[in-house]
Amino acid sequence: MTTEVSAKEPVRQRINLPGTREEECFGWTYESVTEVGTDMAGQEYLQGLLRQQRRFEIDKLLQVPSGISRLSWLYEHMRQICVELGFYLAQLFHECTERECPVMRANETTFYCAGHGHPRPCSAMGYSVHTLDYAVRLLSSGTAFPDRSDIQDTSMKHFQSMVRRLYRIFAHAYFHHREFFERQESATYLYARFVRLARKYELAPESQIIIPDLPTTIELPAVTK
């Protein structure tokens, strides 16, 4: 007598197994934030959207999905932008040297670096690295952000400070390394995502947004019915 064993469909593990081809890595998708089921659900969901080449659909990327609060979605975007800015600076490093850019300028304005205890002049690359380090430390601070799944309104001042300083990195690249800026932007839309996020959450006054609007950064007009 034989016993029939019903075959169950295996549960797909969301991990990159040894031997996985590079183009097949992270090949899974999520239908919602709650489906992720980890403490880093917001981060994993956002990165999943970016892997689907959704980086060019900025409005959809910034739309708050169900299962996460509006400010927690902002927090995850800021973390992701900092991750991508690390790669951005690694590329900019090849042409933004201390000799070529001995101080941090965005257009004609010179900025002092606060990463030395007391603000003082710093090379553009040094300023950029110190500013990114500051943003990463702040986002990882249990005092500033005690619970990434429940960001409070009191944390808005931290986002505003980060955006003001990080914006200068993009402004320096635009005004002093235009070819690099345009090459990066056409491939990643990183600045477009950053400035649209800043406008959506009112993190910076328009007077501080000194890069001319690009086709990707202009807010679409509201549709009236």
25 is in an annotated binding site: no
Residue 93 identity (one-letter amino acid): F
Classified as helix, coil or strand, 148 is coil
Classified as helix, coil or strand, 180 is helix
Q: Are 129 and 89 in contact (CB under 8 A)?
A: yes
116 is in an annotated binding site: no
82 is in an annotated binding site: no
101 is in an annotated binding site: yes
Q: Transcribe 84-138 into DSSP letters.
A: HHHHHHHHHTTT--TTT-SSEEETTEEE-BSTTSS-B---HHHHHHHHHHHHHHH
Binding site feature residues: 96, 101, 172, 177
Annotated binding residues for Zn(2+), written as ranges, equal 96, 101, 172, 177
